[in-house]
Chain A
Amino acid sequence: MIFGTVHKYGDNVDTDVIIPARYLNTSDPEELKQHCMEDIDKEFVQKVTPGDVIVAEKNFGCGSSREHAPIAIKASGISLVVAKSFARIFYRNAINIGLPIVECSEAVDHIQSGDTVSCDLEKGVLTIENKGLTFSIPPFPKEIQAIIEKGGLLASIKGE
């Protein structure tokens, strides 16, 4: 069960602001997380606590294919990203590394920074706890669900 405080952003949050290229000379999650969201929200690193949730409008994660972006987000303790839509490479990368992501336009319209949300991915339910609002989230296709259940893409191919 996912439970955390929301950090909300707008449209087209690109991978350059999630993890600027000047930090791509490393692939160590512990180093990357120190610069997560640095070019869009300088205070993010100080205020994020384990379990927190990122919520954004449309086209989250657009731009570069750098997997360092979902790696930095996951390493900083974020338990879920909710957006109206995701850029497709970011979407694949998040699933492949086991960072939960959810597309839910209606929920995004009702969520503000500082809200508390919970999410049960198995039941497909997202709740804004402090507002008492509940939304249903569509399930992943079964092939994608299988990757998630096996703990990421490489674990899933190794199991074959």
Chain B
Amino acid sequence: MGMTMTQKILAHHAGLDSVVPGQLVMAKLDLVLANDITAPVAIKEFEKAGLTSVFHKDKIVLVMDHFCPNKDIKAAEQAMISRNFSKKHGITHFFDVGEMGIEHALLPEKGLVKPGDLVIGADSHTCTYGALNAFSTGVGSTDMAAGMATGEAWFKVPDAIKVELSGTLPPYVTGKDVILHLIGKIGVDGALYQSLEFMGEGVRSLSIDDRLTISNMAIEAGAKNGIFPFDEVTKEYLKDKVTSYTTYAPDEDATYSQCVSIHLSELKPTVSFPHLPENTKTPEEFGEIKIHQVVIGSCTNGRLSDLRQAYEILNGKKVHPDVRCIIIPATQKIYLEAMEQGYLKAFIEAGAVVSTPTCGPCLGGHMGILAAGERCVATTNRNFVGRMGHTDSEVYLASPYVAAQSAVDGILSCPLKFA
């Protein structure tokens, strides 16, 4: 029986010629990741179990990104647990304030993930690296602790949904709109226990940043992972970052539980209304929704191309007086490039604030918490009840184009007047 990209990577790492959906396998890990919130739980479990050494000090990545720079005393104490553990075990890839960025933007940028890798991370958006033809998935802290100790983890081989992409995206429509459209179509549990396998001639028109955004939100459809094939675009992105790697293409006779077709050319700016990512609407359905805050950033949309999109809208304009616009470059490198390109100057002159890299407001941690009754348009990934603050606040998920235009207009809006 033919295998999907995901099944092939799992089989290879389990030392098997082939695997079938539903099979439980023990697989070798190329990388194990955690952040300042999930690592302390893993470290405590690791030490409680009497484990004394990590499987490979170069294959563990710890990123202090969620509540860092430390937001309060307790957060500072949590981060200290990771700092001490990294020193004690000589963890090579420990990223603290000054070097850190939002983990899922940072790892690809640093060349720490390559095609064919098997990556687990104690963060649900670890699925981001599927964009690079890797298998990567989110796990909890205990799985992460076991992975740090043994370099292995158990996996149930997933069934797959084929997402067939055709055409090219219209102006002002982005990877974010593709993934929100897909989640709207299949629902927040539409891909539960399954992999999303993106294929078709439409893939080649998507930049790596678009693909990273799409794979990033695979979890929002309940998927185990979301994976793209390797092509010239991937090769070009990786050329200065990694040297040798193995790529995986699906077999002709691979089987899929269902096939979803998306014609990129027909997509419109898409927004997820409160309180689920599946509640998607396009501009003609927006109505007049007054907003109070805009957040542009996160592991979903905090890369340089996202900031460029925000710049295209905000340059020479003013943020609406009733809106707080918070822009967060995802890594130090992106921050610096955005400065060199003149984006940051334009943002500040428009009346936006620019923050150091952090996950901050995305999960209601710090740097932009909402009061009761407030509404935010955010380029983040979740709009659950209370996600960004008070349980009576609302989050609208959107692309950087939509978020930036909304910041100017003071209502949920989009650059082209589709309505």
Contact at A88–B224, with CB atoms within 8 Å? Answer: yes
**Which residues of chain A are near B222, meaning CB under 8 Å?**
59, 62, 87-88
When the two chains form their complex, are residues A63 and B124 in contact, meaning their CB atoms are under 8 A apart? yes
Q: Evaluate contact between B138 and A89: CB separation under 8 angstroms.
A: yes
Question: Is B92 among interface residues, defined by CB-CB distance under 8 A?
Answer: no
Interface residues of A in 1-48 (CB under 8 A from B): 12, 14, 16-17, 20-22, 24-27, 39-40
Instruction: Give the size of the chain B interface in residues (CB under 8 angstroms).
Output: 52
Minimum CB–CB distance for A88 against chain B, Å: 6
Do A27 and B49 have beta carbons less than 8 Å apart? no
B361 CB → nearest A CB, Å: 10
Do residues B143 and A39 form an inter-chain contact, with CB atoms below 8 A? no
Residues of A within 8 A of B74 (CB): 25-26
**Contacts A12-B189, A21-B363, A62-B222; A97 near B142 (Cβ below 8 A):** yes
The answer to whether B387 and A87 have CB atoms under 8 Å apart is no
Within 387-407 of B, Cβ neighbours of A (below 8 Å) are at: 387, 391
CA distance A99 to B40 in the complex (A): 20
CA A155 to CA B219, docked complex, whole Å: 28
Identity of the chain B residue whose Cβ is nearest the Cβ of A40 in the assembled complex: B385
B37 interface hit (Cβ, 8 Å): yes
* Contact residues of B between 212 and 261, Cβ < 8 Å to A: 219, 222, 224
For B288, the chain A residues whose CB sits under 8 A away are none
B138 contacts A65, C-beta separation under 8 Å: yes
CB-nearest residue of chain A to B381: A63
Q: How distant is the Cα of A72 from the Cα of B124 in the complex, in angstroms?
A: 18
Find out whether the CB atom of B154 lies under 8 angstroms from the CB atom of A143: yes
A88 near B188: Cβ-Cβ < 8 Å:
no
Q: Report the minimal beta-carbon distance from A40 to chain B, rounded to whole angstroms.
A: 7
Q: Does B98 contact A (CB under 8 A)?
A: no
Pick the most buried of B45, B66, B276: most chain A CB atoms within 10 A of its CB.
B45
- Known contacts A16-B363, A59-B222, A85-B192; is A154 also within 8 Å of B45 by CB? yes
Q: Which 6 pairs show the lowest CB-CB distances between chains A and B?
A: A93-B140, A25-B74, A96-B142, A67-B140, A59-B189, A154-B49
Give the B-binding residues of A (Cβ under 8 A). Answer: 12, 14, 16-17, 20-22, 24-27, 39-40, 58-59, 62-68, 70-71, 85, 87-89, 92-93, 96-97, 141, 143-144, 152-155, 157-158
17 contacts between A and B (CB under 8 A): A12-B276, A16-B386, A17-B386, A21-B387, A22-B365, A24-B37, A24-B365, A25-B67, A27-B44, A64-B124, A66-B37, A87-B222, A96-B146, A143-B24, A144-B24, A153-B146, A154-B48
